[in-house]
Structure 1
Amino acid sequence: MAEIAQYSLIGIYGGTFDPIHYGHLRIAEEVADILELHQLFFLPAGHPRLRTPPFVTGKHRVAMLQEAIRDNPRFSVDDREIKRPGETYSVESLREIRQAYEANGPVALCFITGADAFIRLPYWYHWRELFELCHLVIVNRPGSAPVNPLSDLPDELRDVCQDRWARRTNELKNSPAGLIFTASTTLLDISSTTIRNIIASGKSARYLLPESILNYI
């Protein structure tokens, strides 16, 4: 019997990163270890449709990301959504990224998203196509309940996801897309909104984000 080809896993971590902080960075580091990712790209949102526009311009959010990860060889920044005019959609970015990698051998994209965003997946643009383009990796966020695939999902989402749950990371390596994996990571109760409010009030945000990012701000 022929062996199943193993796919190299590439992480795509989307978000506004407004600004990047230790909560984001710790999740990225732990997911990269759990999945044994060859590379993880931070994908800062340009003009997301389902949330308020980022407070900080894309140029500065990209610069802060690059500064925060410059000493980690596994991490990179993909700024395609910052450069794209108009509303930006994750599915369009994943189409482009997947197309770029297809010529380089068997690769599986792992799109990292918070549990709160995953619950709202049916509101995303062309959300069903995501399962053709990538695996979904769910990470919990402070203040959000963990996803229970049997009871917590909207009916439409539960029906689509019921046979896609992966229990082991190796399952992701044996398929190019379409699976869902929940990664257990350290929950640091830090938010970009809290950081912005602290700084706006004239107080110290030290130890919530890298010192170099605080200096940049």
Structure 2
Amino acid sequence: MLGGTFDPVHLGHLRSAVELREALALDRVHMIPAAMPPLRGEPRVSPDERLALLRLGIADTPGLVADPRELARDGPSYSADTLASLRREVGDEARLVMALGHDAFLRLADWHEPERLFALAHVVVIDRPDHDAVLPAALTELLAGREVEEGEVLMAQPAGKLLRLRLPSRMAISATEVRRRLASGLSVRYLLPEAVEARILARGLYRHR
């Protein structure tokens, strides 16, 4: 599971999903747009539009799935509920992973039912090479005894561990910067998949701040 607002999906999101799948030999990566992210501002375009852009971005990429399950639920998009839904589908013995970026990881202890996340899945942090922040005390407590150093160790059981993973590319693309460029009429070429860029420009999405 790789969640996010995907507002809009960009090549950094998609490349991270591909490299995550390769690094951990995952069957598939569910890219799940959040309808109402509890700890983020409201996305700039509608959930259905963000899902359409994500599907265009993924296209026929093997192993990547645009998963709309959070958009079909009422209320805030809690990751614990999404993982519970995935766990019911894959069964108790399957290995389930929730991947997130470093900034989101630093706030993990503030998430809804953070202990339940580890009961349902492993957590994989896509680390930034230049980021080595001191962890908040509540996060340190949450992670006690959970961190492992190797993917093989992580995948030896269905859930409960944490792995920090540095992916090869780590493309420094920001959705905030993409939105700013679109609002200013600047080029977003090579930041987004061509089909995503074409739909955004054709529909005038993100045109105004």
Question: Structure 2 length normalisation: TM-score?
Answer: 0.91
Structure 2: how far apart are the matches of 1:210 and 1:204?
13
What is the Cα-based RMSD across aligned positions, in Å? 1.5
2:195 counterpart SS class: helix
Deviating runs (4+, > 2 A) in structure 1? none
Task: Check if 1:57 corresponds to 2:43.
Answer: no
> Could you tell me how far apart the structure 2 residues matched to 1:161 and 1:125 are?
16
TM-aligned CA deviation for residue 146 of structure 1: 3.6
Local SS of the residue matching 1:204: coil
Percent identity (aligned): 38
Asked if structure 2 preserves the Cα contact closer than 8 Å seen for 1:41 and 1:75, the reply is: yes
**Stretches of structure 1 lacking an aligned partner (at least 5 in a row):** 1-11
Question: 1:4 corresponds to which residue?
Answer: none
Aligned-pair CA distance for 1:213: 0.3
Does residue 48 of structure 1 match 2:48?
A: no
Specify the alignment match of 1:119 in structure 2.
106
- Give SS of 1:53's match: coil
Q: CA deviation at 1:141?
A: 4.5
Whether the 8 Å CA contact 2:128–2:166 is kept in 1: the answer is no
Residue aligning to 1:88:
77
Task: Name the CA distance, whole Å, in 2 between partners of 1:153 and 1:121.
Answer: 10
2:198 alignment partner in structure 1: 215
Say whether residues 1:187 and 2:184 are aligned partners. Answer: no
Uncovered stretches (5+) of structure 2, i.e. residues with no partner = 201-209
Shift of 1:14: 0.7
Q: Does 1:198 align with 2:185?
A: no
Contact 1:115 1:146 in 2 (8 A): no
Please identify, of 157-166 and 114-123, the stretch whose mean Cα deviation from structure 2 is larger.
Answer: 157-166
8 Å CA contact 2:126, 2:164 repeated in 1: yes
Q: Contact 2:109 / 2:142 at 8 angstroms: preserved in 1? A: no
What is the SS of the residue equivalent to 1:131? helix
1:15 aligns with 2:26: no
Paired with 2:45 and 2:176, the residues of 1 have a C-alpha distance of 11
Partner of 1:107: 94
